[in-house]
C-alpha cells in the first residue's frame, strides 16, 4: 500500500484512534476519520484529541455513529483499507448496559463489513481485546488458547466480532488482522481507566480505591507500541491481502496493581493513600500476552517500559490538567 493510500479510521477521536491518526498522517497517508463523540466521557476530551489533525489537508472528519448506515453512503469509493477502532468501551459498564454494547460493537461492525463487501474494500485491521481470554489459567495468553468463556458482555462482543470478521474473510476473501490489545495506556488515555483515574486522584490528594488486595496484574502496553503494531498489521495486509490473523499486542510483562500504584506515588512524590474495596464483577485476575506471533508476523517489539511510560503520562497530565 502506497503512502498516498486512503484509509478509513473509526474511533479516530478516541485515545488510541487519535494517536493512530496522527501517525498515519505523519507517514503520508490520507485518512477519513469517523467518531460519534460517545457520551461515555466528555466530548471536549475527544475534541482536544483531534485538535492536532483537523487542519491537515489529508484528513477528513465525519461525525457519525457506526450503528447507522447513512454515513457510509457519503464515503464513496477510493478507500484502500479500514482500521476499525470504534467500540462501546468499558468492561464494568457493559454489565449494566449489555444491549448497547451488542448494538454498537457487533451490529456496528457488521454495518462496516457489509459496506466493505459492497464497495469491494478488501482489508481490515480490527481492534479486539485481551478481555476475550477471560480468567484463562494458562499464561502467557496465546492466540491458540480457547476463548469460549468471556466474563463480561464487552469481552463477548469483541470475541463475536473476531468471528464476524472471519465470516467475511471466508465468504468474500477479505484480508483481516484482529489485534488483541492488552491494557493500553499513555497520553490521552480515557479518564475512566485506572492509570488516568489514579493520577488524577493522587494529584488531588484523594485515596486510591484498590479493588482486592492489589495482586491482580495487567500487561500494560504503551500507546506508541500499540500503534506500531497497528501500522505493522496494515503493512502485513499489503503482502498478505487475503490473510486472516488473530495477534496479541501486549508488553509481555505483567505488573501487579500494587506495583502500579506504588510506582505512580513515587513518580508523583506523594505519600500513598489506598482504600481497599471488594473485587469487581467482570474484572479478570490477570492479563499476560504471548507476543511471539506478533514478533514473527509483524516484527513487533514493545519498546517502552512501564516506568518510562508512566513518567510520560504524569508529565502529560500535569501539562494538560494543572
Which residues are catalytic, by number?
A: 154
Across the beta sheet with 123-129, the strand order is 59-63, 30-35, 6-10, 81-84, 123-129, 175-181, 244-249
pLDDT tens digits, residue range 9-23?
999 999 999 999 999
Average pLDDT over residues 107-132: 97
Q: What is the pLDDT of residues 166-220, one digit of tens each?
A: 999 999 999 999 999 999 999 999 999 999 999 999 999 999 998 888 889 999 9
Q: Please, what is the average pLDDT of the chain? A: 95
Is a pLDDT exceeding 80 seen at residue 283? no
254: pLDDT strictly greater than 90: yes
Please say whether the dihedral angle defined by the alpha carbons of residues 205, 209, 215 and 219, taken in this order, is positive or negative: negative
Confirm if 287 and 250 have CB atoms less than 8 A apart.
Answer: yes
User: What predicted TM-score, i.e. pTM, was given to this entire model?
Assistant: 0.96
Could you tell me whether strands 255-256 and 217-218 are parallel, antiparallel, or unpaired per DSSP bridges?
A: antiparallel
Helices (H), 175-267: 194-203, 223-239, 257-267
Instruction: Measure CA of the first residue to CA of the last residue in the chain; give whole Å.
Output: 42
Under CATH, which architecture does the 6-186+222-251+289-303 domain have? 3-Layer(aba) Sandwich (3.40)
The dihedral sign for the CA sequence 199, 259, 16, 156: negative
> Are the CB atoms for 75 and 116 separated by under 8 Å?
no
**How large a percentage of the chain has pLDDT more than 90?**
89
pLDDT band, very low/low/confident/very high, at 4 (cuts 50, 70, 90): confident
Between CA 284 and CA 135 the distance in angstroms is 5
Amino acid at each position: 500500500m502506497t503512502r498516498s493510500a486512503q484509509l478509513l479510521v473509526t474511533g479516530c477521536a478516541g485515545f488510541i484512534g487519535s494517536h493512530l491518526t496522527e501517525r498515519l498522517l505523519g507517514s503520508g497517508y490520507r485518512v477519513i476519520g469517523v467518531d460519534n463523540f460517545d457520551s461515555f466521557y466528555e466530548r471536549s476530551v475527544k475534541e482536544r484529541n483531534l485538535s492536532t489533525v483537523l487542519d491537515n489537508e489529508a484528513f477528513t472528519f465525519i461525525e457519525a455513529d457506526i450503528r447507522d448506515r447513512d454515513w457510509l453512503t457519503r464515503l464513496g469509493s477510493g478507500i484502500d483499507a479500514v482500521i476499525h477502532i470504534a467500540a462501546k468501551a468499558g468492561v464494568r459498564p457493559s454489565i449494566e448496559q449489555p444491549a448497547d454494547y451488542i448494538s454498537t460493537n457487533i451490529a456496528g461492525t457488521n454495518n462496516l463489513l457489509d459496506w466493505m463487501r459492497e464497495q469491494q474494500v478488501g482489508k481490515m485491521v480490527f481492534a479486539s481485546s485481551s478481555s476475550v481470554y477471560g480468567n484463562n489459567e494458562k499464561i502467557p495468553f496465546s492466540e491458540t488458547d480457547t476463548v469460549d468463556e468471556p466474563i463480561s458482555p464487552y469481552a463477548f462482543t469483541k470475541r463475536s466480532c473476531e468471528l464476524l470478521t472471519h465470516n467475511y474473510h471466508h465468504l468474500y476473501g477479505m484480508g483481516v488482522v484482529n489485534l488483541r490489545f492488552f491494557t493500553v495506556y499513555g497520553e490521552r488515555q480515557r479518564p475512566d481507566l485506572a492509570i488516568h483515574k489514579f493520577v488524577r486522584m493522587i494529584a488531588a490528594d484523594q485515596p486510591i480505591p484498590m479493588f482486592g488486595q492489589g495482586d491482580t496484574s495487567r500487561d500494560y502496553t504503551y500507546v506508541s507500541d500499540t500503534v506500531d503494531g497497528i501500522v505493522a498489521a496494515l503493512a502485513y495486509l499489503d503482502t498478505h491481502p487475503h490473510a486472516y490473523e488473530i495477534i496479541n499486542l501486549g508488553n509481555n510483562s505483567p505488573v501487579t496493581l500494587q506495583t502500579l500504584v506504588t510506582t505512580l506515588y513515587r513518580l508523583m512524590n506523594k505519600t500513598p493513600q489506598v482504600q481497599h474495596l471488594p473485587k469487581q464483577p467482570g474484572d479478570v485476575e490477570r492479563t499476560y500476552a504471548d507476543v511471539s506471533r506478533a514478533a514473527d508476523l509483524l516484527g513487533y517489539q514493545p519498546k517502552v517500559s512501564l516506568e518510562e511510560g508512566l513518567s510520560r503520562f504524569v508529565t502529560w497530565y500535569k501539562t494538560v490538567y494543572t
